[in-house]
């Protein structure tokens, strides 16, 4: 795949970039290692000041970088501005809390005395150079939620971003440089996926983090395993959205629409499988389908547009295959089900990679979409007789990223909290990531955690300090 900005609303190639050669990759890895020796020695207050400065710069740049993101991957420009603001918020959160999250721990008591130590401590020390392999769907947020904690912990970063968002990737390097981080602390590597293995095998690279597809995660994990290097993987998701009879149906249906089409439906934590109790199935479907049908589809630079194009032509083709397979095996489209036709309002829909917001019913395990992630504005709805059946459908997936449950019954909440196989269970609300809360999944959704204290400690050497008698 070429490294290029291709506007998904028009299919037009706007900028192309030459990939870095071997000599420049070597120079940048060496620079990252040198920067680590300098950066690891800085105190938390200095790092906090630099990260707060980066947040200030990002806030000032919100409109400009939002338009770049929208041009490169098609998200509505209002959502792109919100993404930039969220990144600045996360930077400030880590700037404020990192020192306490990484403070030495001092275990005490009879067990410590039994170890023969006069005193002990647990210290969180940075690992070194971390390679980040990141996707295009949240081209700022996915990177910042790694970079902010990693830099605050004293690590340095090398970013291999998706090849269709090169301008966003270059902006991130420039942002941290302008904020005053030492040269080489955060660098963008404009390289293809074929270069990742060599970079990860380099002895100066200590660890890797990847957000992306399951095949990409398998590849990086295999190389890292061979090199015995730590990894964090956040992969696909096909999140369930359970609706029980006690739910507030109006709120549940309205939230379901947002949860399914956020980021044009291209989000790992977007709700994708809507599992509804038979007593409220028809009422929910009526509300949900009406909401999906009413969405404004069009030019993502238009402030009133709610759903833009898919990011790539191949992504739309993949989505079409899933939907067509389901329809051929007996599923029914309550709305959508194909490419939109142009209207007077959006005369160029046929030029971009648009797909109609779609609701499918009658989905079963013969259909690919039952098992595979639908990365676009397509929802599947299941009818179930009770909560145990709903949980069984929710868990009948290779993925386990997050989940949503709509019920006002405390016993039902307790059962879901115990039994749903996911990294998160959100009750009566939409799954979202927040810097104070751990984020990640189970099963084929990956391993490790981002954000919160867990995220900043992922790329730390958790070190035991043991002091013998006399100290």
Tell me the catalytic residues. 234, 268
Chain position carrying tokens 């589809």 = 297
Q: What is the token pair recorded at 345?
A: 């309002």
Q: What is the token pair recorded at 170?
A: 């270059």
Inter-CA distances, 160 with 130, 196, 274, 302, Å: 11, 8, 34, 30
Residue 339 is classified by DSSP as P
Burial of 170 (0-12, 13-18, 19+ CB in 10 A): middle
Check if the beta carbon of residue 151 is closer than 8 Å to that of residue 181.
Answer: yes
Check if the beta carbon of residue 21 is closer than 8 Å to that of residue 192.
Answer: no
Q: How many CB atoms lie within 10 A of CB 18?
A: 8
Question: What is the rounded end-to-end Cα distance, in angstroms, of the chain?
Answer: 59
In 145-195, beta strands by DSSP E:
156-160, 186-188
3-state secondary structure of 90: helix
Inter-CA distances, 166 with 70, 172, 189, 356, Å: 13, 10, 9, 28
**DSSP bridge pairs for 274:** 241, 381
């Amino acid at each position: 795949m070429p490294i290029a900005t291709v506007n998904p609303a028009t299919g037009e190639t706007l900028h192309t970039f030459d990939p870095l050669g071997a000599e420049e990759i070597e120079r940048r890895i060496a620079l990252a290692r040198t920067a680590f020796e300098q950066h690891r020695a800085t105190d938390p207050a200095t790092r906090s000041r630099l990260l707060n400065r980066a947040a200030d710069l990002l806030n000032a740049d919100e409109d400009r970088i939002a338009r770049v993101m929208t041009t490169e991957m098609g998200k509505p420009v209002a959502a792109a501005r919100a993404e930039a603001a969220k990144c600045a918020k996360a930077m400030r959160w880590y700037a404020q809390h990192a020192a306490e999250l990484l403070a030495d721990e001092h275990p005490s008591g009879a067990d410590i005395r039994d170890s023969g130590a006069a005193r002990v401590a647990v210290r969180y020390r940075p690992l070194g150079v971390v390679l980040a392999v990141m996707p295009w769907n949240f081209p700022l947020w996915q990177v910042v939620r790694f970079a902010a904690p990693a830099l605050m912990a004293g690590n340095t970063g090398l970013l291999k971003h998706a090849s269709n968002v090169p301008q966003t990737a270059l902006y991130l390097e420039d942002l941290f440089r302008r904020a005053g981080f030492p040269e080489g602390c955060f660098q963008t590597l404009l390289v293809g996926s074929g270069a990742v293995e060599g970079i990860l095998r380099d002895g100066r690279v200590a660890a890797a983090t990847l957000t992306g597809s399951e095949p990409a995660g398998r590849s990086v994990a295999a190389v890292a395993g061979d090199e015995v290097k730590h990894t964090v993987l956040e992969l696909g998701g096909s999140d369930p959205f359970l609706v029980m009879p006690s739910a507030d149906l109006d709120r549940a249906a309205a939230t379901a629409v947002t949860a399914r089409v956020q980021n044009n439906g291209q989000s790992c934590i977007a709700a994708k499988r809507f599992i509804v109790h038979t007593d409220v199935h028809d009422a929910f479907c009526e509300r949900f389908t009406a909401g999906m049908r009413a969405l404004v589809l069009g030019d993502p630079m238009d402030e009133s547009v709610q759903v833009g194009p898919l990011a790539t032509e191949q992504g739309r083709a993949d989505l079409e295959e899933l939907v067509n397979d389901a329809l051929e095996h007996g599923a029914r489209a309550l709305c959508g089900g194909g490419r939109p036709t142009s209207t007077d309002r959006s005369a160029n829909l046929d030029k971009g990679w648009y797909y109609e917001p779609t609701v499918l019913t009658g989905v079963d395990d013969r259909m690919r979409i039952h098992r595979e992630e639908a990365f676009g504005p397509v929802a599947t709805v299941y009818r179930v007789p009770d909560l145990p059946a709903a949980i069984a459908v929710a868990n009948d997936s290779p993925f386990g990223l997050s989940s949503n449950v709509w019920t006002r019954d405390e016993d039902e909440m307790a059962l879901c909290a115990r039994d749903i196989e996911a990294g998160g269970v959100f009750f009566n609300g939409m799954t979202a990531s927040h810097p104070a809360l751990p984020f990640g999944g189970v099963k084929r959704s990956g391993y490790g955690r981002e954000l919160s204290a867990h995220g900043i400690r992922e790329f730390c050497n958790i070190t035991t300090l043991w002091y013998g008698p006399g100290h």
